[in-house]
């Protein structure tokens, strides 16, 4: 029934899945907090946030706290919708294995 189509390739990765899960329940999260929660390296996290940003699932806000640059990540409406669809598809596939 094309359910498998709802499985989003972009979320088929541990770190991207993790970033989206965190952003779903937090209004905004900064880089270090994501790093701490996901337990990944800077470079690794940066490349995956970039991928999600290019898909317009998340947006990035850069600012300064004092002299230190601070990068915040926020989920977009499109991203929220896409991720919900992905979770639904996962649940369906678990309940009705082919």
Partner 1 sequence: MDSKKYLDDISQIKDLMNRSSRFISLSGLSGILAGIYAIIGSLVAYFFLLPGVDDYVTLHNRNFKLIMGILILVAVLSFVTAYLLTTRKAKKNNEKIWDDTTKRLLVNFFVPLVTGGIYILIKLNSQHYGLTASLMLIFYGLALVNASKYTIGTVKYLGYTQIVLGLICAAFPGYGFWFWVLGFGILHIVYGSIMYLKEDKA
Dig out the tokens for 13 from the structure: 């990765």
* Residue 52 binds partner 1 (CB under 8 A): no
Minimum distance between the CB of residue 90 and partner 1, rounded to whole angstroms? 5
Q: Is the dihedral of CA 9, 13, 19, 21 positive or negative?
A: positive
Nearer to partner 1, 22 or 46 (CB): 22
Going from the C-alpha of 58 to that of each of 3, 19, 29, 72, the distances in angstroms are 24, 9, 11, 10
Residues that bind partner 1 (CB under 8 A): 4, 14, 17-18, 21-22, 24-27, 29-30, 33, 37-38, 87, 90-91, 93-94, 97-98
């Amino acid at each position: 029934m094309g359910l498998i189509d709802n499985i989003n390739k972009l979320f088929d990765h541990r770190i991207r899945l993790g970033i989206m899960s965190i952003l779903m329940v937090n209004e905004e999260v900064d880089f270090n907090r994501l790093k701490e929660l996901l337990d990944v390296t800077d470079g690794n996290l940066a490349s995956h946030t970039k991928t999600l940003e290019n898909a317009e699932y998340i947006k990035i806000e850069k600012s300064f706290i004092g002299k230190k640059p601070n990068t915040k990540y926020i989920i977009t409406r499109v991203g929220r919708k896409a991720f919900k669809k992905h979770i639904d598809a996962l649940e369906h596939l678990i309940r009705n294995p082919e």
